[in-house]
Copies of this chain bind each other. A is one copy, B any other.
Amino acid sequence: MSHPFEILAQDGAARTGRLVTPRGVIRTPAFMPVGTAGTVKALSVEQVRATGADIILGNTYHLMLRPGPERLTRLGGLHRFMGWPHPILTDSGGFQVWSLSGLRRLTEEGVTFRSHWDGSSHVLTPERAMDIQADAIGADIVMQLDECPAWDAPREAVAESLRLSARWGQRCRARFGQRERQALFGIVQGGIHADLRLESAQRLLEIGFDGYAVGGLAVGEGHHRMLDVLSSTVPHLPAERPRYLMGVGKPIDIVEAVVRGIDMFDCVLPTRAGRHGQAWTDDGPITLKASRFAEDESPLDASLECPASRGYSRAYLHHLVRNHEILGQVLLSWHNLAYFQSLMARLRDAIAAGTLEGLAAEFRRRQPAG
- Residues of A near any B CB (own CB < 8 A): 37-39, 41-44, 46, 66-67, 71, 74-75, 81-83, 275, 294-295, 297, 307, 311-313, 315-316, 319-320, 322-323, 325-327, 329-331
CB-defined contacts of A322 to chain B, threshold 8 Å: 66
In contact, B295 and A71 (Cβ under 8 angstroms): yes
Nearest-CB residue, chain B, relative to A62: B323
A83 and B294 contact, Cβ closer than 8 Å, known pairs A39-B327, A41-B327: no
A66 and B323 contact, Cβ closer than 8 Å, known pairs A295-B71, A315-B75, A316-B82: yes
The complex places the Cα of A165 from the Cα of B231 at a distance, in Å, of: 76
30 A-B pairs in the complex with CB atoms less than 8 angstroms apart? A37-B319, A37-B323, A39-B320, A39-B327, A41-B325, A41-B326, A42-B326, A42-B327, A43-B327, A44-B307, A44-B327, A44-B330, A46-B307, A66-B322, A67-B294, A67-B315, A71-B294, A71-B295, A74-B295, A75-B295, A75-B297, A75-B315, A81-B313, A81-B316, A81-B319, A82-B316, A83-B312, A326-B326, A326-B329, A330-B330
Nearest-CB residue, chain B, relative to A322: B66
The complex places the Cα of A37 from the Cα of B297 at a distance, in Å, of: 18
The complex places the Cα of A311 from the Cα of B71 at a distance, in Å, of: 20
**The 7 A-B residue pairs with the shortest CB-CB distance in the complex, in nearest-first order:** A42-B326, A39-B327, A37-B323, A39-B325, A67-B319, A81-B316, A75-B315
The smallest C-beta distance from A82 to any residue of chain B, in angstroms, reads: 6
CB-defined contacts of A319 to chain B, threshold 8 Å: 37-38, 66-67, 81
CB-defined contacts of A275 to chain B, threshold 8 Å: 326
Nearest-CB residue, chain B, relative to A275: B326
In contact, A81 and B323 (Cβ under 8 angstroms): no
The smallest C-beta distance from A78 to any residue of chain B, in angstroms, reads: 10
The smallest C-beta distance from A80 to any residue of chain B, in angstroms, reads: 9
Given known contacts A44-B331, A326-B326, what 4 new A-B pairs fall within 8 Å (CB)? A44-B330, A71-B295, A75-B315, A81-B316
The complex places the Cα of A297 from the Cα of B77 at a distance, in Å, of: 13
The complex places the Cα of A133 from the Cα of B115 at a distance, in Å, of: 52
CB-defined contacts of A312 to chain B, threshold 8 Å: 83
Nearest-CB residue, chain B, relative to A74: B295
The complex places the Cα of A75 from the Cα of B295 at a distance, in Å, of: 7
The complex places the Cα of A43 from the Cα of B83 at a distance, in Å, of: 20
CB-defined contacts of A330 to chain B, threshold 8 Å: 42, 44, 326, 330
